[in-house]
Structure 1
Amino acid sequence: MTRVVIAPDSFKGTITAAEAAAALADGWREVEPAADIVLRPMADGGEGTVAAFATAVPDAQWMPVTVDGPAGAPVETSWLLLPSTTDAPGGTGVVDIASTSGIELLDGLRPGDADTTGFGQAIAAALDHGVSRLILGIGSSASTDGGTGMLTALGARFLDADGEPVARGARGLADIVTAELGALRGAPDVRVLTDVTNPLVGPRGAAAVFGPQKGLTAPEDIARVDDALARLAALLPVDPELPGTGAAGGTGA
């Protein structure tokens, strides 16, 4: 008997990896009905990441949650709870930015206002459940907010010169003077899934390379956001040259 392993990524903007795998399996069975077909849809940290884990890991549980989507509207989504193991007795939570703060959730690009709040809210839900490990997929983001929305949902505060919270998204980055991290939630073992090695700032950084995908196209706006991300890195602090920090509009940092 022929054994066939079908392991596609998604067809971006068309069908998910799981749907692609199922369609390929249907086609194969038409010509070889007796084949032993194994479906292993893949993902690169972007759309379909949670679904790929759900397919690959027996007894994984979908955990529904409502979050603020990238434009602020409520989004019904889920994170995934993987079974307990010796090194993760509370289980592992899988959360992806695509299904919480992803670009596919927008009706139209929002380069100034889209943010990662929903991603942070889903992470908070996993932490509230008591997971021992987090796996975070950060592909297909809708924003260039440096992860400030995510961090705000987890307890951080980003304030302007008057001590007031800045606007959400890339629009508010340039106004950040203070980053208050004292109430930021602690996290367990965290693994971040990204398929890019771009730094946070510079000609290969989040604003310059990925900003235009999210609608940030004017050179002066790209330069402004790049400068703001550099200042944010100094406040957090993180190394803006670290590979992968430019992923997901700076959420990697």
Structure 2
Amino acid sequence: MKVVVAMDSLKGSLTSMEAGISVKAGILAAKPDAKVVVKPLADGGEGTTDALIEGLNGERIDVTVTGPLGNPVSCHYGYLKETNTAIIEMASAAGITLTDKKDPLHATTYGVGEMINDAITRGCRNFIIGIGGSATNDGGIGMLKALGFVFLDEKGNDVGEGGQALGKVHTINIQNKNPHLTDCHFQVACDVTNPLCGNNGATYIYGPQKGVTDNIKEELDQAMAHYAAVTRVALGCDYEKAEGAGAAGGLGFALLSYLHAKLTPGIDLILNAVELEKELKDADIVVTGEGRLDHQTAMGKAPVGVAKLAKKYDAKVIAFAGSVTPEATACNETGIDAFFPIVRGITTLKEAMDPDCAKANMQAAVEQVFRLL
């Protein structure tokens, strides 16, 4: 019997790999001769870097970069030496949780560019970047400036940082960009399809949560369109209306236009990165899960991504979760054959989420299910 395990993290309790290793222990307790392969799982959002560092034997690189409002922030990215790959979450440098102040006119992605530069100096030429949770609406100008792109106003002065800079852009100079960018490949985990501008664009849809008020919304959106127009003339490409261009306050647009990135749904990108499909080809059973299974899981979260891929090879799919809701039955229609909660008795939330308790509960629940197989 071959079993492939790909568990999402149980947030606040177990990492992806901790959950997966606990599942493996339960399987082997019931089926000592089983071949069990454990893969990390994430969806491109928070926790992706740590999951892939742990699951792919990567190195954690700690750096200090420019935060969203110009203050230094400590963050980290993952370094996979064998493949010269960096795994970056933009939110660690320019995330909305890094500051209590919301200032879309000045919040910058400059620190994201600094992270990329640092990874390039270590030899990285392949990048996996998650772009959720940004505090910015700067069209990615900050990131690009850190990478050596120059944005000047009509008088030849630097346009500055943040959303206020977009309408000032008159000239774009690409001559001083980091020369290694030509050899770099960027894969971006992006789960939104918004264009850059308009009523469904970055400013109108996501701007309010970053501090964009009604009185500056139209002005900012028009400034974003102006920036896109100047970019189109300077680079000869047009991604203003591309799906995902509006992600992370227009960072998606910058990645597409200036770094020739490929935007991919987060779960698809991660499943490809961990080479899950290769292990599924001869799997009998696939185990997945997360902290809570509910109707949102069925709408395309990581466990469903695993299940759909597993069904391509006719494997049975079992899911385990800290808790399940009545609406979780929708998961049965998306490839998960059966699911089970791991909590084994009346308990407090604190007790249930204690890592040691969660590991023991996971192992015990998995063992009992596999005794039936």
The TM-score normalised by the length of structure 2 is 0.57
Q: Answer yes or no: is the 8 Å Cα contact 2:17–2:54 preserved in 1.
A: no
1:149 positional shift: 0.2
1:192 and 1:235 map into 2 onto residues whose CA distance is 24
1:57 positional shift: 0.9
Instruction: Give unmatched runs, 5+ long, in structure 1.
Output: 86-90
1:53 positional shift: 1.4
Work out which of the residue numbers 83, 96, 115 in structure 1 matches 2:89. 96
Q: Answer yes or no: is the 8 Å Cα contact 1:25–1:37 preserved in 2.
A: no
1:10 and 1:155 map into 2 onto residues whose CA distance is 40
Q: Answer yes or no: is the 8 Å Cα contact 1:93–1:131 preserved in 2.
A: yes
1:248 corresponds in structure 2 to 248
Q: Answer yes or no: is the 8 Å Cα contact 1:17–1:42 preserved in 2.
A: no
User: Deviations along 1:195-228, whole A, 9 cap, x unmatched?
Assistant: 1111111111110111111111x23311111111
2:204 corresponds in structure 1 to 208
1:7 positional shift: 2.8
1:55 corresponds in structure 2 to 54
Work out which of the residue numbers 190, 195, 203 in structure 2 matches 1:194. 190
**Structure 1 residues 1-253: aligned runs within 5 Å:** 5=5, 7-8=7-8, 15=12, 18=15, 40-44=40-44, 46-58=45-57, 60-85=58-83, 91-186=84-179, 187=181, 188-216=184-212, 218-237=213-232, 238-253=238-253
1:236 and 1:129 map into 2 onto residues whose CA distance is 30
Q: Answer yes or no: is the 8 Å Cα contact 1:67–1:75 preserved in 2.
A: yes
Q: Secondary structure of 2:64's partner?
A: strand
Per mean C-alpha deviation after superposition, the further-off stretch among 35-44 and 134-143 is 35-44
Q: For residue 228 of structure 1, what is the amino acid of its counterpart?
A: A
User: Structure 1 residues 226, 81: closer, same or farther in 2, change over 3 A?
Assistant: same
Q: Secondary structure of 1:236's partner?
A: helix
Q: Aligned pairs, how many?
A: 239
Larger helix fraction of residues: 2
Q: Answer yes or no: is the 8 Å Cα contact 1:9–1:43 preserved in 2.
A: no
Q: Answer yes or no: is the 8 Å Cα contact 2:197–2:240 preserved in 1.
A: yes
1:249 and 1:16 map into 2 onto residues whose CA distance is 31
1:132 positional shift: 2.4
Q: Secondary structure of 2:88's partner?
A: strand
Q: For residue 146 of structure 2, what is the amino acid of its counterpart?
A: A
1:179 positional shift: 1.8
2:7 and 2:195 map into 1 onto residues whose CA distance is 30
2:344 corresponds in structure 1 to none
1:193 and 1:17 map into 2 onto residues whose CA distance is 23
User: Deviations along 1:98-137, whole A, 9 cap, x unmatched?
Assistant: 1111111112222221110000000011111121211111
The TM-score normalised by the length of structure 1 is 0.82
1:107 and 1:96 map into 2 onto residues whose CA distance is 19
Per mean C-alpha deviation after superposition, the further-off stretch among 241-250 and 129-138 is 129-138
1:106 and 1:78 map into 2 onto residues whose CA distance is 17
Q: For residue 105 of structure 1, what is the amino acid of its counterpart?
A: L
1:121 and 1:65 map into 2 onto residues whose CA distance is 9
Identity rate, percent: 36
Higher normalized contact order (CA 8 Å, seq sep 6+, divided by chain length): 2
The runs of at least 4 aligned residues of structure 1 exceeding 6 Å deviation read: 23-26
- Between structure 1 and structure 2, the one with the greater Rg is 2
RMSD of equivalent CA atoms: 2.9
User: Deviations along 1:143-165, whole A, 9 cap, x unmatched?
Assistant: 00000000000001212222111
Per mean C-alpha deviation after superposition, the further-off stretch among 118-127 and 235-244 is 235-244
Q: Secondary structure of 1:212's partner?
A: helix
User: Structure 1 residues 122, 243: closer, same or farther in 2, change over 3 A?
Assistant: same
1:225 and 1:190 map into 2 onto residues whose CA distance is 27
